[in-house]
Amino acid sequence: MQAVSKSKNDERELIVSTVRKFVEKEVIPVASELEHRNEYPHELVRQMKEMGLFGLNIPEEYGGADVDTTTFAMVFEEISRGWLGLAGIIGSHSVMCDVLVRFGAEEQKGRFLPDMATGEKRGGICLTEPNAGTDLQNISTTAARDGEVYRINGSKMWITNARHGNTFLLLAKTDPAAQPAHQGMSAFIFEKGAPGLTVSRDIDKLGYKSVETCELHFDNFPVPAANLIGGAAGQGFKQAMTGLEAERLNVAARGLGIARAAFEEAIRYAQRRVTFGKPICEHQTIQNKLADMATRIEASRLLIYSAAEKRDRGERCDLEAGMAKLFATETAAEVSFEAMRILGANGYSKDFPVERYYRDAPLVVIGGGTNELQRLIIARNLLKKYKDNG
């Protein structure tokens, strides 16, 4: 048993150290420049494909790495430490993979997963609509059966990888009259190519740049009936929600990466910047900030690992994932702001990466389910766990 555990740890360390070296050598030197130009990182994506990062959560039989959730989180922490936008390119893709692995029919897995693992087929998830984000049961996009295809009509927005991706998970209503609404929702895998799909404007964002976020419009867009996930209609809401549980840990790890990058920049600067005759790290006010930042980062890491381990045991981890997402992403926002304050005017300058971390942090607070929603999820699970039967 110990040998198996040691082998697993060795494999994890190899994967994480490989990603860390890639980030330090290839990503960090170009991240700010590409981000400021809002330029898609084609070369970095090519390298991530070669490293197998698009297949992290795909079983080995389909060409993936099939890493455990803890390793998965560590990889996203490392990539986000270098550049959140780059993590986004594989983040949404990984949610799509997770849903297909868990709920896809064997024929669907064999048809899609090998190319998803290599990154030849890559994309994201089409869930959000102009009037349906957190409240997914309010979606209005429909999928009507027409012989061997479903005809998709409606719009999706905030779709990561929409322009450069080619394969997506779609949530639509196959029975718009169903009550409750979630019983009439189905999930599909679709590929670009057929007429009826328009990738419209790129949404101009505060941060999270270079990875494109677009609106999609469907006008009788045909999706093969064979692409209905699991082959059964009415299961899409449950399938999407299960994928989003994994996404919360993914986003939590991204928040941890941002916080860690901001802290490392701040503590390095604090040892070099001299005021009143000594490095500012020797001033008690700065020391207090650094101590609080580091403590929150370590607590975030432990919350993420705890939730990841529970998920790897096959247990539901709604409570733990919600706590990890809430705490780690709020930590990203707080630490990036404190780092800016430690750097002073330099923190506000584009000559230093802290301003990028500060602009990126709100995305993880909002994305993957807002933190206001996470608090509701946490509270509801706590009331179940500590139900008063007296």
Convert the pLDDT of each residue in 319-369 to its tens digit.
999 999 999 999 999 999 999 999 999 999 999 999 999 999 999 999 988
307 in Cβ contact with 323 (< 8 Å): yes
Q: What are phi and psi of 256, to 5 degrees?
A: -60, -40
Query: Hey, what domains does the chain have and what are their CATH numbers?
Result: 2-118 (1.10.540.10), 123-234 (2.40.110.10), 238-385 (1.20.140.10)
Convert the pLDDT of each residue in 142-179 to its tens digit.
999 999 999 999 999 999 999 999 999 999 999 999 99
Residues 6+ apart with CB under 8 A from 170: 126, 141, 143, 152, 156, 187, 188, 189, 190, 223
Q: Give the residue from 169, 186, 193, 184 showing the smallest Cα distance to 100.
A: 169
Q: Give the residue from 188, 190, 265 showing the smallest Cα distance to 228.
A: 188
Convert the pLDDT of each residue in 233-273 to its tens digit.
999 999 998 888 889 999 999 999 999 999 999 999 999 99
Would you give the end-to-end CA distance of the chain in angstroms? 44
Count of beta carbons in the 10 Å neighbourhood of residue 187: 30
**Where residue 291 falls among pLDDT bands split at 50, 70, 90?**
very high
pTM of the model: 0.94
Quick one: which H or E segment has residue 385? helix 371-385
Q: DSSP string covering 313-336, please?
A: TT---HHHHHHHHHHHHHHHHHHH
Residues 6+ apart with CB under 8 A from 23: 78, 79, 81, 82, 83
The overall average pLDDT reported for the chain is 95
pLDDT of residue 265: 98
pLDDT of residue 1: 31
Of 65-74, 115-124, 131-140, 334-343, where does mean pLDDT reach its minimum? 131-140
Count of beta carbons in the 10 Å neighbourhood of residue 333: 22
Question: What b/e readout covers 116-132, taking b as 16+ CB neighbours within 10 angstroms?
Answer: bbbbebbbbbbbbbeeb
Count of beta carbons in the 10 Å neighbourhood of residue 241: 14
pLDDT of residue 4: 44
